[in-house]
Amino acid sequence: MSFAAIDLFCGIGGLTKGLEQSGIKVVVGIDFDENCKYAYEENNNSRFICRDITKLTPEEVYTFYPEDIDIHILAGCAPCQPFSKYTQRYRKNGYKDEKWKLLYSFGLIAKKILPEIIAMENVPELLNTNVFLDFITELKSCGYSIFYTVAFCPDYGIPQNRKRLILLASKLGDISLISPTHTPKEYLTVRDAIGNLPPIAAGTSDPKDIMHSATALSDKNIKRIKQSIPGGTWRDWDKDLQLKCHKKNSGKSYPSVYGRMSWDAPSPTITTQFYGYGNGRFGHPEQDRAISLREGAILQSFPIDYKFINSDDIFNRRKLGIQIGNAVPVRLGEIIGKSVIRHIRRCAYGQERDNVRTN
């Protein structure tokens, strides 16, 4: 049976790359951010379409599928900021964010074109929202079998302590995510992922890779990171280096800020500001700097040679950090793809189980 996918909210192509690695052809990726076009098309055998999902009709989306396929797959990750812990905790009106509408737009497109399989990735906090309940209610009313779970990324070979909500829906029958591919003893670590990259200093770049670039640090932050130990906190510093907020009771609940990663454990969740030493536990395990853009991308399971920037483009660290931090980890996209392919084979050929472990 032939199949192909469309990737909504595709960004720079993390989900598309993972689906491709699993064996699923992605015909187009759609995103409203034109800045994602270069990385998306340079690294994937797919076409980037710059459109606002809320202004794209289901009929237009359906025309992107090849006419001769049996199985239509609709995949995507609506921007997750409105559903994140940060937004819900610090923005009283976070629920009014315009991006909430994007999941409704996803649901509308799915309801109108009725693809055989739907795959969605997002933050776990989405589970506690009405928009998610509405989404799955609509899918069930259209005859879909629904599966969703919160996946722990290290269980699937991603060197990052990230939790993500995975939803799979099928009109072919019951569907589920494949079993974890790694046990805790097999978790990939920071050392496994970035331990072999060339050393660089804060404020410098690898001459062979502009993405292996580290943010400059002030003299005081250089002193702070020199006193930081892997897995430690700002409490390891001399008193004169601690910030005023650290000395308040409210600051004592954020020990990871200005922390170093540990070599022999998965990294913390890579956010859109992972390149800043003071934005979380983003200090390199032994070099006196924050992790580089390339290191953050590798911890997001992007291939080491993934191209993010055209040589003619202006280097914009903030833009690149947002693109990388917002991306679906490539390996997670691959796991989703393998789960979909297993499901299609079982439905088509009656296979009850895989013959080999899916690594």
Q: Which of 183, 212, 199 is nearest to 320 (CA)?
A: 212
* Amino acid symbol at 57: T
Report the alpha-carbon distance of residue 280 to residue 292 in Å, rounded.
14
Catalytic residues: 80
Q: Residue by residue, what is the 3-state secondary structure of the chain?
A: CCEEEEEECCCCCHHHHHHHHHCCCEEEEEECCHHHHHHHHHHCCCEEEECCHHHCCHHHHHHCCCCCCCEEEEEECCCCHHHCHHHHHHCCCHHHCCCHHHHHHHHHHHHHHCCCEEEEEECHHHHHCHHHHHHHHHHHHCCCEEEEEEEEHHHHCCCECCEEEEEEEECCCCCCCCCCCCCHHHCCCHHHHHCCCCCCCCCCEECCEEEEECCCCCHHHHHHHHCCCECCCHHHCCHHHCCHHHHCHHHHHCCCCCCECCCCCCECCCCCCCCCHHHCCCECCCCCCECCHHHHHHHCCCCCCCCCCCCCCCCCHHHHHHHHHHCCCHHHHHHHHHHHHHHHHHHHHCCCCCCCCCC
Tokens found for residue 63? 């025309």
Instruction: Tell me, yes or no, if the two domains 3-181+329-349 and 190-326 fold the same way.
Output: no
Predicted confidence (pLDDT) per residue in 85-115, tens digit: 544 443 444 445 555 678 899 999 999 999 9
Predicted confidence (pLDDT) per residue in 294-310, tens digit: 999 999 999 999 999 99
pTM: 0.90
Task: Determine contact, residues 193/210, Cβ cutoff 8 Å.
Answer: no
The fold of 190-326 is DNA Methylase; Chain A, domain 2 (3.90.120)
| Tens of pLDDT, residue by residue, the chain (359 residues) | 899 999 999 999 999 999 999 999 999 999 999 999 999 999 999 999 999 999 999 999 999 999 999 999 999 998 855 444 544 443 444 445 555 678 899 999 999 999 999 999 999 999 988 999 999 999 999 999 999 999 999 999 999 999 999 999 999 999 999 999 999 999 999 999 999 999 999 999 999 999 999 999 999 999 999 988 888 877 878 677 777 665 555 555 556 678 899 999 999 999 999 999 988 899 999 999 999 999 999 999 999 999 999 987 889 999 999 999 999 999 999 999 999 999 999 998 765 434 333 44
Domain regions of the chain by residue span: 3-181+329-349, 190-326
Q: Which pLDDT belongs to residue 358?
A: 40
Report the alpha-carbon distance of residue 204 to residue 213 in Å, rounded.
6
Tokens found for residue 217? 């640090």
The fold of 3-181+329-349 is Rossmann fold (3.40.50)
Q: Which pLDDT belongs to residue 237?
A: 81
Pairing of strands 71-76, 3-8: parallel
